Amino acid sequence: MNLKYIWRIIVLAVFLCAAIQFSPLVMDENKIAPYFLGMPFTLWFGILISLLIIILTAIGGYIFSRLKSEELKDN
């Protein structure tokens, strides 16, 4: 796969995660069910999305550095 294509997918996934996190589906007023490990839905879903964004950022940093090093080799 092309590194630029992977980079764009990661960027799109991060924006999609942010949009989902702050959508009315998740941030619904008085929505606490379903519980997971004693935490209400909004809390555990927010933690899950945050972890996903952290992982995507780490992968994106690696891909971006590879992309830039290949770009410097070409010049």
Task: For the chain, 75 residues long, give each residue's pLDDT as a single digit of tens.
Answer: 798 899 999 999 999 999 998 888 777 777 777 888 888 888 889 999 999 999 999 999 999 999 888 877 876
Q: Report pLDDT for 17.
A: 94
Alpha carbon distance 58, 39 (integer Å): 27
Alpha carbon distance 27, 49 (integer Å): 13
Residue ranges per structural domain of the chain: 3-74
Q: Model-level pTM? A: 0.81
Residues 6+ apart with CB under 8 A from 3: 63, 66, 67, 70
Alpha carbon distance 13, 52 (integer Å): 9
Q: Beta partners for 36?
A: 39
